[in-house]
């Protein structure tokens, strides 16, 4: 389900989330927004601060909404077409919970490959505490998107995110919760590759 199906409450939550992440964007950065949504709302909101923003989403219509923005229709199948060390930052906002667990490691290995050595990932995802409320709002009151909530594969907590980061060559530099603990933000920095010892002479 894409952002074209959002109602007013969905959009309010989306903009709140964007405000949390915006504070961690680097000035003049090259940014990949993975799962940017049909309208690429986050990239549109920060375009004045970016050198280049590329948005990827299966639901997106390819477009160039600004001279420094490019939106591509894309479905991840194990690899990006970008060269190594292409991006200063990657954003993945309210997307991680939709990714099947057996695909998460493959995705984050590719994130690591295309990030610059000093790059980082900015992510948001609902916490486990949000599940009862989201399901009540979606399926009982029907005031947020039911298909969006039904597609959640996992509710990530701090321990899960730390474990994912460590496993895939990142460190969780920042973790915080917002929206009354129902969502979390994390910044994962790319760890340097270990230096292999020189072969014996």
pLDDT in tens, 43-77: 999 999 999 999 999 989 999 999 999 999 999 99
Residues 107, 100 contacting (CB under 8 angstroms):
no
Q: Which domain holds residue 25?
A: 3-190
Instruction: Count how many domains the chain has.
Output: 1
Domain-embedded: residue 30? yes
CA atoms within 13 A on the CB side of 151: 11
Whether 15 is in a domain gets the answer: yes
201 is a domain residue = no
Q: What is the pLDDT of residue 56?
A: 98
Please indicate, yes or no, if residue 198 is contained in any of the structural domains.
Answer: no
pLDDT mean for each 10 residues of the chain (201 residues): 57 77 96 94 95 96 96 96 98 96 98 97 97 95 90 97 98 95 96 62 56
pLDDT for the residue numbered 129: 97
CA–CA separation, 111 and 121 (whole Å) = 8
Residue 25 domain-assigned (yes or no): yes
Identify whether 199 is part of a domain: no
What is the model's pLDDT at position 1?
40
Contact (CB, 8 A) for 22 and 47: no
Evaluate whether residue 27 is within a structural domain: yes
pTM (2 d.p.)? 0.90
- The pLDDT of residue 14: 75
* CA distance readout (Å), 72 to 39, 60, 77, 81, 146: 11, 6, 15, 12, 26
Tokens 């490019």, residue?
Answer: 70
**Residue 137 maps to which CATH number?**
3.40.50.150
Q: Is residue 196 part of a domain?
A: no
């Amino acid at each position: 389900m894409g952002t074209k199906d959002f109602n007013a409450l969905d959009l309010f939550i989306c903009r709140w989330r964007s405000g949390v992440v915006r504070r961690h964007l680097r000035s003049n950065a090259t940014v990949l927004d993975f799962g940017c949504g049909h309208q690429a709302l986050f990239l549109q909101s920060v375009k004045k601060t970016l050198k280049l923003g590329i948005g990827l989403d299966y639901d997106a219509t390819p477009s160039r909404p600004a001279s420094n923005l490019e939106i591509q229709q894309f479905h991840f199948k194990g690899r990006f077409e970008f060269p190594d060390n292409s991006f200063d930052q990657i954003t993945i906002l309210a997307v991680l919970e939709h990714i099947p667990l057996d695909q998460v490691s493959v995705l984050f290995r590719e994130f690591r490959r295309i990030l610059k050595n000093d790059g980082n990932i900015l992510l948001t995802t609902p916490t486990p505490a949000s599940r009862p409320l989201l399901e009540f709002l979606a399926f009982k009151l029907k005031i947020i998107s039911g298909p969006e909530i039904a597609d959640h594969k996992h509710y990530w907590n701090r321990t899960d995110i730390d474990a994912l980061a460590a496993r895939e060559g990142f460190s969780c530099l920042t973790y915080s919760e917002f929206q009354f603990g129902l969502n979390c933000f994390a910044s994962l920095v790319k760890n340097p590759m270990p230096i292999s010892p020189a072969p014996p002479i």
